[in-house]
Amino acid sequence: MAPAIKALLFDLDGTLIDHDTAAMVALTQALQAIPGLHQVDHAHARRRWKQLEELAMERYLSGELTFTGQRRLRVTSLAAELGLGTWDAPRADAWFAGYLHHYESAWRVYPDVRPALDALAEQHRHLRLGALTNGDADQQRKKLLHVGLASELLAVIASSEAGAAKPHAKIFHQGCTRLRLAPDEVAYVGDRLQTDAIAATNAGLHGIWLNRDNAPTPAEPPVIQTLKDLPALLTKIDR
Ligand SMILES: [Mg+2]
């Protein structure tokens, strides 16, 4: 019998690329470059930066803020909270440019990515691979190039081009259309239970939750704790 699953789409940040570590490393470096900023509680600043990013990204994905606008909001909010006063747009943009340089230099794949892709190539030779991500298409493609995955993940579907963001079914369906496959021929793996795994399942794909933090696990959808378990899980789903 021919395999039921013909393509596998990955979420990017938190699934293939360790966005959190890159962002935290970059924040520390960019804060250290601010003249006159002493005695920063870096752990607190990192927590706030992550929270501000979540909030600003949500408003970007809903169309309320531009990609640049969400960056400025994060920077000006953090600067104010650190007692640096009110930053105007040029100052925020200049600081963010420094942050971005550090962030991009710190882009890495998780250690389980390479072994998983090699095992998939061996055990699921027919499988087409791609990425489906909430974010800016140019930046997400740049990430894939930087970490050396651009030639393997041929289809890249980003919310900025799709006109819809996860958890909306529309972006998943656009991914399937791009692959010329039906939703039930496509598996989707991501690190967020609701936004990735459940949303993909609701759109008719085979949603898989990558539970990297070992959080409590529901009965459905299928869950893995490392991408190394992906080939075996796909075999099981295919049966
Ligand atoms: Mg993610």
CB neighbourhood size of 66 (10 A): 12
Please give the C-alpha separations between residue 55 and each of 7, 12, 35, 90, 103, in angstroms, as whole numbers.
32, 19, 27, 22, 19
Report how far ligand 1's centroid is from the alpha carbon of 24 (Å): 16
Does 7-18+108-238 carry CATH code 3.65.10.10? no
pLDDT tens-digit map of 58-96: 999 999 999 999 999 999 999 999 999 999 999 999 999
According to the CATH classification, is domain 19-105 in 2.40.360?
no
Task: Give 122's contacts (C-beta < 8 A, 6+ positions apart).
Answer: none
Q: Where are the domains of the chain?
A: 7-18+108-238, 19-105
Confidence band, pLDDT 50/70/90 cuts, at residue 1: low
Q: Is 164 helix (H, G, I), strand (E, B) or coil?
A: coil
CA distance 24 to 26: 5
Alpha carbon of 196 to ligand 1 centroid (Å): 8
Is residue 175 within 8 A of residue 132, CB to CB? The reply is: yes
How many angstroms is it from 208 CA to the middle of ligand 1? 12
CA of 131 to the centre of ligand 1 (A): 11
Q: How far apart are CA 197 and CA 205, in angstroms?
A: 9
- Output the CA 21–ligand 1 centroid distance in Å: 13
The predicted structure's pLDDT at residue 188: 98
pTM for the complete prediction? 0.94
pLDDT, one tens digit per residue, over 142-162 is: 999 999 999 999 899 999 999
Same fold, 7-18+108-238 and 19-105: no
H/E run at residue 44: helix 42-61
